[in-house]
Structure 1
Amino acid sequence: MHSFGKQPQTSVAIARRSNIDRLSIVIVTYKRQGLLRDLLDSIASLAGKPWRIVVVDNEDSSDTARMVDELDSRLEAAWGPSDPDDRGGTRRAVYFPQADNLGGAGGFSAGIRCAYGLGARWFWLMDDDVTCEPDAIGKLARWTGRFDVIQGSRLDFDGGAFYWMYRFITPLGIPSPFATSDLGPAGYRPTNQLCFEGGLVSRRVVDAIGLPDPRYFIYGDDAVYGYLASKHFRTAVVADVILRRARAISSWDIAGKRQLNSTSDATRYYIMRNRGYTARYLRCNGDYHRVLYGIGTAATLSKELIRLVMVDRSFATGIPALIRGMRDARKVYRDRSWKPMPPLAPKRRTAGHVAPVL
């Protein structure tokens, strides 16, 4: 049984919401201008109006900068001027180039930091290879009075439903492949992890747990961010479809219900390396069990070996990448100087917002 306490608004009031106060869309992009253009076009077609769109460019490309400028002019012509941000700016589309490629983890950390500094109250996070459904903001707005972390549903690139493993098996440190895809008559289920492909996060989550950890570079940073948020706030995955994935990926269908996607050797390395960081966060929060976490690591390695056999078939480079990742994970776990990301605001109790029983 999941307890969420007394709801702060009636269902009628929630249904009437059509926008989200000071909503900032945070996009991380790297050398995919074609996909990014489709995403920006979909943002311009949204029924609701985001307050800011922050585009974090890990490439620092003049082409991307031009696209963001064009979007800003387009939105101003269609929507009129925006309310000033906390720094006095009025641009809706903000270009935020990075000197180095920070990966997805570093990009989202930088993007949330930028939007936070501008005064955003909600952060809608997405990669450059998705497009927004026109009514997405209104769908998300229905839930902002009840949850501080909201993960909307997505369509795959072929238009079919995209399955997301929204339950994090904490002792093992892995997502549960058994989480039901049926979100029930209420249209949501509690979750204890997050995906930066469409996840919506409130400002007070960032206040309480800080920015996503850029040290992950890619993979696992969003799951751990959701895990940390669920320790303090109500978090949910909702049935409302808000995004469509725009990039076709080779995959292996498992009984027609699950799929194992192709990936790169770099990602394979980080999948294993980043288990060192996840172990540290679990340990900081009293959820680390050495034996069970080791079983989770063995399960993760087995999954990656199956991926190599069934999808990628790059054994000569893939297996060494996995071995390097496991070796470096041990270094992270033994690093005495390691510290978690700090909160951005002093810790305080907030009436009416307690963590769900998961």
Structure 2
Amino acid sequence: MLDARNVTAIVVTYNRLPLLKQCLAALRAQTVQGFTVLLVDNASTDGTADYIKTLAMPGLVCRNPGENLGGAGGFAYGIRAAAELGCEAVWIMDDDTLPEPDALAALLAADAAHGDDCGWLSSRALAPDGTDQPMNLQRKTMYRDIDGFDVAEVPAVMASFVSLFLRTEAVRQFGLPIAEFFIWSDDWEYTRRISRAKPCYVIPASRVVHAMQNPGVVNIARDVPARWARYRYFYRNDVVLYRREGLSGWLWLLAKDSWHTVQVLRDRQGCRAERIKIIWKGFAAGVRFRPQIPYLP
């Protein structure tokens, strides 16, 4: 069984200091201790750096890349830095992830049962009210969510970076997340890249609360106007993810983007032409987008 001292928890943050404080407190409250916490501060401007200087937290390492790399870039940066620190496994999460006290212990126990035969392990993500967080439901196929959490482990092919555990050896084999994604679908792409070759599992006993500020599924027809512009990444990145699945993947992309277009046309927030343009310009950009998978040296 891996010792917690050989694990590095990677937290990526950007201008969400109140949530980050809760995340770090939850990490300090884990029933197993001794693991390193590597905080990637994406050049926050909200006082995060000053707060970290005052924090007496054993095992905390803070890295600032000097610019906002987005979630995708932050995780790629953090996993590379964790590997350089010599850890044997990484535990990945956003700054709004609040692990319950036994979250890491449950992942370590599952890792001990599977060892190198497993690609990754994922926690059950809950909303603050205790219901399952819809954005973080893992997929049992590329197109269907898992059915539930009533067994000790649930096979899955995709998961989010809201509490993902994998061995550094898997990182060396399958590479790093694609930093060019910036935000959205980087976790789906990364976990699917691994699950194509190795079995992967959700561990329901490992639970986290995802205290996200904008809950719900990713859909420009339902989101607030302030977030519309960033959807160009979502519709672009999804093409990279699904085209690897062949004809079924392309059909899924066309069906999803067409359905989102219909939903925009029905929506009362206005700016319909602008949002539809974002969807299909993102799709076209994805067809041309050929990012390379980065690997550890």
TM-score of the pair, normalised by structure 2: 0.85
Partner letter of residue 79 of structure 2?
I
Q: CA deviation at 1:320?
A: 2.0
Match of 1:33 in 2: 17
Q: Give 1:157's aligned amino acid.
A: P
CA spacing shift, 1:314–1:111, aligned 2, 3 Å: farther
Distance 1:26 1:222 in 2: 14
Letter in structure 2 aligned against 1:124: W
Q: CA deviation at 1:97?
A: 0.8
* Mean Cα deviation higher: 99-108 or 307-316: 307-316
Q: Secondary structure at the match of 1:158?
A: coil
Q: Is the 8 A contact 1:209 1:342 kept in 2?
A: no
Report the Cα distance in structure 1 between the residues aligned to 2:32 and 2:53, rounded to whole angstroms.
20
Q: How many angstroms apart in 1 are the aligned matches of 2:267 and 2:32?
A: 42
Q: For the residues of structure 2 that align with 1:320 and 1:292, how far apart are their CA atoms?
A: 24
Q: Which sections of structure 1, spanning at least 5 residues, go unmatched?
A: 1-13, 77-91, 253-259, 283-287, 333-337, 346-358
Tell me if the contact between 1:152 and 1:237 (Cα under 8 Å) persists in the aligned partners: yes
Q: What code does the residue aligned with 1:209 have?
A: F
**Which residue of 260, 271, 288 corresponds with 2:234?**
271
Equivalent-residue separation in structure 1 for 2:78 and 2:268 (angstroms): 33
Residue in 1 aligned with 2:106? 139
User: Structure 1 pair 242/101, CA: closer, same or farther in 2 (3 Å)?
Assistant: same
Letter in 1 for 2:128: F
User: Which is higher, the Rg of structure 1 or of structure 2?
Assistant: 1
Write out per-residue CA displacement over residues 280-300 of structure 1, whole angstroms, 9 at most, x where no aligned residue.
6x2xxxxx42x3232111222
Residue 234 of structure 1 is matched in structure 2 by: 199
Cα offset, 1:208, TM superposition: 0.1
1:211-247 CA-to-partner distances (Å, cap 9, x unmatched) read 1111111111111111121233331012124210223
SS of the aligned residue for 2:110 comes to coil
Matched residue, 1:321? 278
Using a 3 Å threshold, how does the CA distance of structure 1 residues 104 and 251 change in structure 2: closer, same or farther? closer
Quick one: structure 1 residues 131 and 50, their matched pair in 2 at CA, closer, same or farther if it must change by over 3 Å? farther
Residue 195 (str. 1) matches residue 156 (str. 2) = no
Displacement of 1:69: 3.1
Indicate the RMSD between aligned Cα atoms, in angstroms. 2.7
Give the secondary structure class of the aligned counterpart of 1:154: strand
User: Which aligned pairs between 1:14-25 and structure 2 lie closer than 5 A?
Assistant: 20-25=4-9
Matched, 1:103 2:67: no
Give the unaligned 5+ runs of structure 2: none
Structure 1 pair 150–274 and aligned structure 2 pair: CA distance change class (3 A): same
- Go from structure 1 to structure 2 and tell me whether the alpha carbon gap of 1:167 and 1:251 turns closer, same or farther (over 3 Å shift): closer
Aligned pair partner of 2:130 in 142, 154, 159: 159
Instruction: Report the CA distance between 1:327 and its aligned residue.
Output: 2.0
* Inter-partner Cα distance in structure 1 for 2:284 and 2:212: 32
User: In 2, are the aligned partners of 1:192 and 1:227 still within 8 Å (CA)?
Assistant: yes
Question: 2:182 aligns to what?
Answer: 217
Distance 1:261 1:62, change over 3 A: closer
Q: Map Cα deviations across residues 237-262 of structure 1 (whole Å, 9 max, x no partner).
A: 1212421022343659xxxxxxx963
The answer to whether the Cα contact below 8 Å between 1:212 and 1:341 also exists between their aligned partners in 2 is yes
Distance in 2 (CA, whole Å) between partners of 1:116 and 1:251 is 33
Match of 1:149 among 120, 144, 149: 120
Task: Pick the structure with more helix per residue.
Answer: 2
Count of residue correspondences: 286
Deviation string 1:126-146 (CA, Å, 9 cap, x unpaired) is 111121211211121110121
Secondary structure (helix, strand or coil) at the match of 1:242 reads strand
136, 155, 180: which one aligns with 2:147: 180
CA contact (8 A) 2:37 2:60 kept: yes
Q: Determine the C-alpha separation between the residues in 1 that align with 2:268 and 2:164.
A: 28
- Counterpart Cα distance in 1 of 2:206 and 2:139: 19
Q: Which amino acid aligns with 2:130?
A: G
Q: 1:293 to 1:148 in 2, by over 3 A?
A: closer
Instruction: Tell me the CA shift for residue 109 of structure 1.
Output: 0.2
* One-letter code aligned to 2:296: L
TM-score computed with the length of structure 1 as normaliser: 0.72
Residue 202 of structure 1 and its aligned partner are, at CA, apart by 0.8
* Alignment partner, residue 257 of structure 1: none
